[in-house]
Every structure is written in C-alpha cells, then in structure tokens.
Amino acid sequence: MKQQTAAGRNRVAESRAGRHFLQIPGPTNVPERILRAIDNPTIDHRGPDFGRLGRDILAMLKPVFRTAGPVVIYPASGTGAWEAALVNTLSPGDRVLMCRTGWFATLWKEMAERLGLDPVFIETDWRRGADPEAIGALLAADREHRIKAVCVVHNETSTGCVSPVAAVRAAIDAAHHPALLLVDTISSLASIDYRHDEWGVDVTVAGSQKGLMLPPGLSFNALSRKALAAAAAARLPRSYWDWQAMLKANADGYFPYTPGTNLLFGLRVALEMLDEEGLPQVFARHARHAEATRRAVRAWGLEIQCAEPSDYSSSLTAVRVPEGTSADALRAVILERFNMSLGNGLGPLKDRVFRIGHLGHFGDLELIATLGGVEMGLALAAIPHRPEGVQAALQFLSGAP
C-alpha cells in the first residue's frame, strides 16, 4: 500500500512542474512553517510536554474567537463540531430556527433532523446572508418559547455570502427571546471579523482547514456561560462530543482521548502566525483580495453569486457562468492545464458556479496567478468573457495598500 501511495505521488509530481494551486475555499494551502511543525515525532499525549502544548493552544485560541470563555478542540472535521454544538445544548424534539443560506446550512439542518430535533427553515435564494428581520419575526411570534436555538452559518461557503451575526443577536434580543445562538464559522474564522463574546454567541463552530491554514482534522466549539448552563440540562445522547469530559481534561492541557497531536503542533504555529500578522491585518488582507477578485469577475463580464454587496464574503467568491456553459468543464480544463483546483457548485448550484477560494495563507501574487488561471481557462473553455479581469485586479492591488 505504502509503495503505491508513493508511486502515485511521484507520478503527479513528475507530470506537473510548479506547485499545485489549491484555490478551493477549504482545505486551503498549508504554509511551510506549519508543515514543518506537523512533521515532528508524535509525543505522549499524557506526558508533561503535551500538557504545556495543550495549555498554550487553549489560551492562544481565545483571542481568535474573541472570547474569554472556553474553546474545545475535537479531532474531527467541522461536521463533528456541528454535531457537538447541537447534542450538548439541546433535547429530543427541540425546535431550532435555521436559515437555508446555501448548501452548508442545508447539511446542518439535515443533521438536526437526524438527531431528532425539529428545525424550522427560513428559505433564501442562496444569493444573500440570513435575514435578521425574518428571524426576529419568527421569534416574536414564538410566545411559548418553543424555539430553543437559532443556528446561522456566518460565511456560507457554497455561495460566498456572509450573514450578519451581530444583527441576528440584536433581533433575538429585540424579541426578548431566550433561544441560544449557534454560529458556524468554519470558513470565516481568522478570515472575516468575528466576535464570539461581543455578539453574544453561545456556541461557535469552527474547523482547522480553512482560515486557520491547517490540514483538515481538527474542529472547535467556543462556549458561552449560557451554553454551558444549557448543557447541564440538555438530554440529547452524547459521549464522544461531551463538553464536560473535555473541559475537565482541558483544565490541565489534556484531552479525554487521544488528540490530533501533530495537527496541534501545527495549530500552535498557525496561532503564532495569526498573532504576528495581527487579526485586523489578516481581515484587511482577505477583504482586499476579495475586492480584487470581484473587480476581476466584473471585468470578465461574469456575475457574482452573492447579490447583496453588504454580504460579500472575504474568504471566497462564487462566480456564475453564463447559461449554456458549464462551470465544471471550466474547472476541469483549469485543473488539467494549469494544475489549479477551484471549488465546484454545490446542490442546485452544481455546474452553475465555480468558487475561487482566497482565504488562508495567501498573498497578492498568488491571487494574480489564480485569476490568471481562471482567465486562461475561460478562453480555453470558450466561455464568453472579456479578457480584462487580471488587469482590473492588478490595477486595484497596485493602487490599494
């Protein structure tokens, strides 16, 4: 098996000069510094060195979530942290208010159904974020407080639309409703401004493989006091995801089961890198690359999937292709000719959009190369466009600081 894997790897390396451009909106390109940290011998997860690592990381995570409360780490994909948020806070049959902002919100809702919850789904056209007014109206009408949680995807990765979490909080408060607020920041944490404490979020769900620049395999829950109180009364069955066992072990920097030790080596370096650059600078860099990308899309004469400028995502841009053309054929030719992966259209957007990831470890020249690959691909795939997108992005990037 091992030999086959190595042979497969070599085949790819031999046939492709230059590096692969992983411009899907997660997993993202992992910087060398993080790869070097992961590439160390695994240590005893019950020994003293691990305790120090665990305590460091659990403290360093808090400013990234903008919280003073606990953050727990699972050796799991983001989907695991979705489940943890639901099973720790809710009971069988509980009503939850969710917004179909796109594919990921739909998956979270289907999970809630499978867990025996009763989701109420607010529909959207997949071209904007969640509507705080619609949420507020349903909460105000819920006089018996049957709705136990409001679940929002901060950055909907299938559409490139951001939901206004602070406004959702304000709508919950204006309705004087006690529902918990659960937010998925899997593709926004460390890319787009986010404030767990200030926005009164009860559980923030995050993952390692997007803005945090790590490989997939870690996910997170940040917890409010109210979430912890809800957990004490919640009756959905839980074992692996149970916060109590996790928090007890975390107090000394340890975990109740084997953690993703080598990914945690990488996480410590990722958190150092974010601290060195500074979160405001990280957010500004993402916003600038997103703006340059949108200028390129408009110059090509193509349409941005997000129809609401206030909801534009800084971590990815979903681009609609003209009727009668195929986004998947475009992505295939770009992969084949330029060794670049772009995100596909999900659910009803299959073949109708392609998604450019511009998050994580990413600079101006990488953006220009990415847009260059798209522009050449548009020509090769015979998609009607003006070949002026890269030029528009260059002008913007060389002007704006």
Ligand X SMILES: *Cc1c(COP(=O)(O)O)cnc(C)c1O
Asked if residue 153 binds ligand X (CB under 6 A), the reply is: yes
Binding mask 193-232 for ligand X (x = CB under 6 A): --------------x--------x----------------
Which residue number places its CB atom closest to ligand X?
Answer: 78
Tokens for 280, please give them.
């405001």
Asked if residue 79 binds ligand X (CB under 6 A), the reply is: yes
Asked if residue 88 binds ligand X (CB under 6 A), the reply is: no
Distance (Å, whole) CA 204 – CA 201: 7
Distance in Å, CB of 146 to ligand X, minimum: 26
- Is the CB of residue 304 less than 8 Å from the CB of residue 294? yes
Q: Looking at the DSSP assignment, which residues form a beta bridge with residue 341? A: 22
Asked if residue 57 binds ligand X (CB under 6 A), the reply is: no
Only one of the segments 75-83, 140-148, 249-257, 345-353 lies at the binding site for ligand X (rule: CB under 6 A); that segment is 75-83
Residue 306 CA to its chain's centroid (Å): 17
Asked if residue 104 binds ligand X (CB under 6 A), the reply is: yes
Q: Which is nearer to ligand X, 96 or 392 (CB)?
A: 96
The site that binds ligand X (CB under 6 A) totals a number of residues, namely 12
Q: Quote the longest CA-to-CA distance of the chain.
A: 65
Distance in Å, CB of 347 to ligand X, minimum: 13
Distance (Å, whole) CA 165 – CA 173: 12
Asked if residue 354 binds ligand X (CB under 6 A), the reply is: no
Q: Which is nearer to ligand X, 348 or 384 (CB)?
A: 348
Q: What contacts 401, CB < 8 A, 6 or more positions away?
A: none
Q: Which of 83, 184, 202, 311 is in the footprint of ligand X by CB under 6 A?
A: 184
- Is the CB of residue 72 less than 8 Å from the CB of residue 241? no
Q: Looking at the DSSP assignment, which residues form a beta bridge with residue 342? A: 23
Asked if residue 26 binds ligand X (CB under 6 A), the reply is: yes
Asked if residue 186 binds ligand X (CB under 6 A), the reply is: yes
Asked if residue 341 binds ligand X (CB under 6 A), the reply is: no
The DSSP bridge pattern shows strands 21-23 and 340-342 to be parallel
Taking CA atoms, 195 is separated from 95, 166, 201, 267, in Å, by: 26, 9, 8, 20
SS3 per residue for 166-227 = HHHHHHHHHCCCCCEEEEECCCCCCCCCCCCCCCCCCEEEEECCCCCCCCCCCEEEEECHHH
Asked if residue 243 binds ligand X (CB under 6 A), the reply is: no
Asked if residue 78 binds ligand X (CB under 6 A), the reply is: yes
Distance in Å, CB of 152 to ligand X, minimum: 10
Only one of the segments 136-144, 181-189, 238-246, 319-327 lies at the binding site for ligand X (rule: CB under 6 A); that segment is 181-189
Residue 284: burial class (beta carbons within 10 Å; 0-12, 13-18, 19+) = middle
Tokens 């650059």: give the residue. Answer: 277
Distance in Å, CB of 111 to ligand X, minimum: 10
Q: Which is nearer to ligand X, 116 or 216 (CB)?
A: 216
Distance in Å, CB of 156 to ligand X, minimum: 6
Give the footprint of ligand X on this chain (CB under 6 A). Answer: 26, 77-79, 104, 153, 157, 184, 186-187, 207, 216
